[in-house]
Amino acid sequence: MTPTDAKRPLQLNDNGQLRHFLSLDGLPRALLTEILDTADSFLEVGARAVKKVPLLRGKTVCNVFFENSTRTRTTFELAAKRLSADVITLNVSTSSTSKGETLTDTLRNLEAMAADMFVVRHADSGAAHFIAEHVCPEVAVINGGDGRHAHPTQGMLDMLTIRRHKGDFEKLSVAIVGDILHSRVARSNMLALKTLGCPDIRVIGPKTLLPVGLKQYGVSVHNDMDEGLRGVDVVIMLRLQRERMQGGLLPSESEFYRLYGLTTQRMTLTKPDAIVMHPGPINRGVEIESAVADGPHSVILNQVTYGIAIRMAVLSMAMSGQTAQRQLEQEYAAEEQN
């Protein structure tokens, strides 16, 4: 589990603009900030009576989900439609690959549909990189989550949530809690927080759910929940991923909740204005108490709203010759003139 910038050229074009969006590894702070700024602009679109802009009119976005995810799939669909793109969603997990078709065969068939962009979610780490390396040059690839490796749009929507609620990253203490070992969200968040200048990133969990090499991400590691939470500004809870575990990692869910569940009592250890986040789906009574998930510190539903804006930003930037932010400003100026 070692950060690397080896794949950075694959994600950027010759001008340093987004070509694919596969991982946050090696992406510069300026680009992450541009994604956040562009998403801020798109939040205004979501508040309109007509929630559409014509930035991707005439383009086709193909959501290719080899692994199920209602929340991610739905927000990518909404994001593409709000950009005026045509959208095709394929649940490949129940079709071609289950009949023996290889990933390369599936890719060639998708290219024959003349899509301009693939949003790919896959259970195997590196699948999105593989597709980006083999896809035809005019197609952009967005990683919607691959195995334990990366979930870059989730990482960026979490960053947008933090920035809108807490401001400057350089003054924050952030705790990421739970099943770090199996979490692609945790990896993306650690990379993003470090790149954006967060000085205090804490990872909290039992030793059996913490991978080796964590300190290379610039984080401090805590096995004691109370110690790790003390004085933090942001708490990011993670889902306990039982489906990825192979026996013996945990004695029981109730024991995990006793030691690492985020309760009302434990929230008293954080700063009074701390926020609570969760990528979903929430396991109430396993990683978080309902009173916390639904309470005043929670911004979990805000994350969903911000997720649409982030995905609009990434889709438009990856398919655009100029920055999406500039295009959006031009569109607003044209509307005012009319």
Binding site per annotation, positions for carbamoyl phosphate: 71-72, 121, 151, 154, 280-281
Contact at 8 Å (CB) between 260 and 206? yes
How far is 6 from 283, CA to CA, in rounded Å?
36
**What are the tokens at 6?**
């080896």
How far is 124 from 38, CA to CA, in rounded Å?
30
User: How do 173-177 and 219-222 pair as beta strands?
Assistant: unpaired
The residue type at 25: D
The residue type at 334: A
Cα-flanking dihedrals φ and ψ of residue 39, to 5°? -65, -40
Judged by DSSP in three states, 176 sits in: strand
Going by the annotation, the residues of the binding site are: 71-72, 99, 121, 151, 154, 184, 239, 280-281
According to DSSP, residue 123 is labeled S
Residue 328 CA to its chain's centroid (Å): 23
The residue type at 323: T
Going by the annotation, the residues of the binding site for L-aspartate are: 99, 184, 239
To the nearest 10 degrees (0 to 180), the angle between helices 152-166 and 184-195 is 50
Return the HEC string of 5-42: CCCHHHHECCCCCECCECCCCCCCHHHHHHHHHHHHHH
The residue type at 205: G
- The radius of gyration of the chain's CA atoms, rounded to the nearest angstrom, is 20
**What are the tokens at 88?**
């095709």
Contact at 8 Å (CB) between 29 and 83? no
